[in-house]
Amino acid sequence: PYIPNNISNNIIKTVRQANFTIDMLLANLRSEKPDSKDYGIFSIRSCIHEAISTYPFQKGEKEKVTFRESPDFDFHGSDVLFIYVIYNLLKNALYSISRAMKGHIEIWIDLEDNTSRLHFRDTGSGISKQDLPYVFDNFYSSKPAGVGHGLGLAFCDRVMNSFGGSIELDSQEGGYCEFILRFPGIEKNDRPVSLLSPH
C-alpha cells in the first residue's frame, strides 16, 4: 500500500530514535568497567563534531547547541565511548531546556594551566542542591518516574575515569548546569593520527 512521504519519514525517524535509545542504554549497561586494552588516541574536537552530527535531534533542538571552535587536543581513550558521553550530556541538557522552556547549550575547550578540559553548559532548569551529591550514582535520577533510567551520568563518570580523567558538575537550580570534563595529558610521541576525520 502507498504510504505518504511525511508518514514514511516520521516512521523512519521514530525507528531511528528508538534504536538510538536502545544503543545508549546498552552502552551504559555494558560499561560497568570499560575495557581499556583497545583504547587509542583521538581528537576531542573531531569526536564532538561527530556526536553533534549524529545525535537524533528533534525539530529545533540542534539550533540550541553551540560548539565554540577552539584549540583542539588529543586524548587517550575510546572515541565511541566518548561520543556516547556527549550523547548523554546532550540528552540531559535538552530535557532540562524543554522542562524550563528556555535555555541554550554551549560546548567549549579550555587549555589553560596546561590542563585539557571540555566544558558542557546548558542554561535550562539546573539541578537542585539536594540532588547534586548523587547525580553520578547508578540508577539515581532527578527526573520523574519513567522519564530517565538513572544510568547516563554514572556511565559518563565511569568512562572518564577509565580515560584517567574526571567529570565534575556545577549547577544552580533554575539557572544552569555546567559539566567540566578533565583529561590527562599525553606525550607528543604517543600521538598517532585520530581515526576520526576532522570536520
C-alpha cell at 23: 544503543
Q: Which residues are within 8 A (CB) of 25 and not within 5 positions of it... i.e. 6 or more apart?
A: 149, 151
Whether residue 16 is predicted with pLDDT greater than 70 in this model: the reply is no
> Given pLDDT bands bounded at 50, 70 and 90, which one contains residue 34?
confident
User: 16-25, 52-61, 162-171 — which is least confidently predicted?
Assistant: 16-25
> Residue ranges of the alpha helices (H) in 101-183?
152-162
Average pLDDT score, the chain: 82
C-alpha cell at 153: 551520568
User: 42 in helix, strand or coil?
Assistant: strand
Whether residue 11 is predicted with pLDDT greater than 80 in this model: the reply is no
Of 136, 55, 44, 117, the closest CA to residue 90 belongs to 55
pTM of the model: 0.78
Give the other-Cβ count within 10 Å of 98's Cβ: 15
Strand 65-67 to 105-110 pairing? parallel
* Structure confidence by residue, pLDDT tens digits, 81-122: 899 899 999 999 999 999 999 999 999 999 987 789 999 999
CA distances from 141 to 33, 89, 147 (A): 21, 14, 9
C-alpha cell at 134: 548523587
* Structure confidence by residue, pLDDT tens digits, 133-164: 989 987 666 655 444 445 689 889 999 999 99
Once rounded to an integer, what is the mean pLDDT over residues 153-179? Answer: 94
The better pLDDT of the pair 120, 131 is held by: 120
CA distances from 186 to 18, 27, 40, 92, 138 (A): 37, 26, 11, 30, 30
CB of 158 closer than 8 Å to CB of 32: yes
Domain annotation for the chain: domains and CATH numbers: 5-190 (3.30.565.10)
Partners of 105 in the β-ladder: 65, 122
Share of the chain above pLDDT 90, in %: 53
Which residue carries 547549550 as its cell? 105
